[in-house]
Amino acid sequence: MTKTITISPVTRIEGHAKITIHLDDSGNVADARFHVNEFRGFEKFCEGRLMWEMGGITSRICGICPTSHLITSAKAGDDILAIAIPETAEKLRRLITLAQWIQSHALSFFHLSSPDFLLGFDSDPATRNIFGLMAYDREFARRGIRLRKFGQEIIEILGSRRIHTPWAVAGGVREPFEAAKRDHLLAWIPEAKATAQFALSTLKGIHEKFAHDIPKFGNFRSLFVGLVAEDGALEYYDGKLRVMDGDGNIVDDHIDPHSYAEYFGEAVESWSYLKFPFYKPLGYPEGMYRVGPLARVNICNYIDTPLAEAERVQFKALAGESSVVNNSFYYHYARLIELLFAVEKAEVLLKDDAILGTNVRSRAMINRQVGIGASEAPRGTLFHQYWVDQNGVLEKVNLIIATAQNNLAMNRTVRQLAIGYLDGKKVTEGLLNRIEAGIRCFDPCLSCSTHATGQMPLHVQLIDAAGRVVSERHR
């Protein structure tokens, strides 16, 4: 008789999801599924709107990475106008993209994942959170808040509004930057850099503590996908797509993001509203790939800032001969390398006088009826594709978000953790905590568009094949 263990919803990730673990007659794990139960429907919602509205609309999809949607939407708009944006505008867009990485990566590490690392997977769940962390090490948590504040401050200064800013537009950005504000942000850099390095040293210090757990945290070969610069450097705003396999072989390179649909398909499963993107040449589900920090740091040839590059070299040493780090636990490590890179690169941009230029916007009419934008959001490659009529009215919209692209890999991770930690027919705290921690490696953001009070309890059920609840617990 098959039994199903349900863990719903997962805490400390955005949106609503549940996990089911399917057991065979012998009580062994047959399968595990990461379900997303809310239909988003944003694409349909956008049809009939004007192309120029898309930045303001899509940046409200997500309260965590609105800037990534804003920038990618603006790039799709550039494509529809068929224009090159001014140098200053591109550099300002790059700066705000880095700010998004800083605040998002800081939140992921300091406030969501660190409680697991510092307090332990098996510590009391009532205190294994940011408040428990504060009691454990107030200065650690305070530094995380400050770093995140730095990222948000760049976004606020550039975009005027902290969230949902319609600052980036098709053709560039709305307003030039100011020297006084540049100086204010530059003053943050030493502290931000020190905090990013502190985070890295903290994380590397706990790897040994979790030596028993790490091999079970999504440790499998897969493809890795992301943007790289023309010379193969880590890229976050532009570039071409690279596909690398789990042995370090580059299987596709220099893919123009305009061609993404030729290389990547989206499968659907009846049990989840989240699609399952895959690499078409290998088919579904063999074409499973990972995006985000682990992918980006794996696929790039180098990082063009010195401190982050030195860390990348250390990171690569974890891979051994394959040159690819396949273990999803090391998303955290890669994320912090990117955090350090983002601070270093922000400093470079802030010291570049070109960002103070006043020519920040090119203007044109609708010149193409299809536009594609791609950039690297904190969680991975983000694509926006718009089809418009001659007046710029949207006829069709396709958004491929990073979390969806990791969907197959998250399912594989959950299955591996279930196999490794399920003991008997009960959902133990240890299993539950590790599955949640496994999902958090990817820092997924699912349907974070509603927040209204009164949602998100943690409910765990063990259900047998007849639909009976044989074990249940609330957190």
Residues binding another protein (CB under 8 A): 11-15, 41-42, 45, 57, 60-61, 63-64, 66, 103, 107, 110-112, 126, 129-131, 134-135, 138, 141-142, 144-146, 148-149, 152, 161-164, 445, 448-456, 458
Provide the minimum distance between the beta carbon of 61 and another protein in the complex, in angstroms, as a whole number. Answer: 7
Provide the minimum distance between the beta carbon of 429 and another protein in the complex, in angstroms, as a whole number. Answer: 15
Provide the minimum distance between the beta carbon of 407 and another protein in the complex, in angstroms, as a whole number. Answer: 19
Length of the chain: 475
Determine whether 210 is exposed, middle or buried from the number of CB atoms within 10 Å of its CB (0-12, 13-18, 19+). middle
Query: Closest CB to another protein among 85 and 118?
Result: 118
Type of residue at 29: V
Within 10 angstroms of residue 338's Cβ, the number of other Cβ atoms is 30
CA 251/CA 212 separation, integer angstroms = 32
Query: Closest CB to another protein among 306 and 454?
Result: 454
Provide the minimum distance between the beta carbon of 379 and another protein in the complex, in angstroms, as a whole number. Answer: 12
Provide the minimum distance between the beta carbon of 248 and another protein in the complex, in angstroms, as a whole number. Answer: 33
Provide the minimum distance between the beta carbon of 23 and another protein in the complex, in angstroms, as a whole number. Answer: 28
Q: Closest by alpha carbon to 31, among 425, 403, 464, 417? A: 417
Query: Closest CB to another protein among 130 and 255?
Result: 130
Query: Closest CB to another protein among 77 and 125?
Result: 125
Query: Closest CB to another protein among 64 and 303?
Result: 64
Provide the minimum distance between the beta carbon of 145 and another protein in the complex, in angstroms, as a whole number. Answer: 5
Provide the minimum distance between the beta carbon of 234 and another protein in the complex, in angstroms, as a whole number. Answer: 24
CA 21/CA 39 separation, integer angstroms = 22
User: Which stretches of 160-248 are DSSP H helices?
Assistant: 179-186, 189-206
Query: Closest CB to another protein among 135 and 465?
Result: 135
* Pairing label, strands 29-36, 17-23: antiparallel
* 194-200: long-range contacts, CB 8 A cutoff, minimum separation 24: 195/143, 195/144, 195/146, 195/147, 196/147, 196/336, 196/339, 196/340, 196/343, 197/307, 197/340, 198/143, 199/106, 199/109, 199/110, 199/144, 199/147, 199/336, 199/339, 200/311, 200/333, 200/336, 200/337, 200/340
3-state secondary structure of 37: coil
Within 10 angstroms of residue 199's Cβ, the number of other Cβ atoms is 24
CA triple 135-141-145, angle to 5 deg: 140
Type of residue at 69: H
Provide the minimum distance between the beta carbon of 109 and another protein in the complex, in angstroms, as a whole number. Answer: 12
CA 418/CA 456 separation, integer angstroms = 23
Query: Closest CB to another protein among 32 and 57?
Result: 57
Query: Closest CB to another protein among 72 and 222?
Result: 72
CA triple 445-208-139, angle to 5 deg: 65
Query: Closest CB to another protein among 60 and 473?
Result: 60
CA 161/CA 107 separation, integer angstroms = 20
With a CB cutoff of 8 Å and minimum separation 6, the contacts of 453 are: none
Q: Closest by alpha carbon to 296, among 197, 248, 345, 224? A: 224
Query: Closest CB to another protein among 278 and 386?
Result: 386
- The enclosing H or E element of 178 equals none
Query: Closest CB to another protein among 69 and 345?
Result: 69
CA 377/CA 236 separation, integer angstroms = 8
Contact in structure between 204 and 275 (CB atoms under 8 Å): no
Provide the minimum distance between the beta carbon of 120 and another protein in the complex, in angstroms, as a whole number. Answer: 17
Provide the minimum distance between the beta carbon of 142 and another protein in the complex, in angstroms, as a whole number. Answer: 5
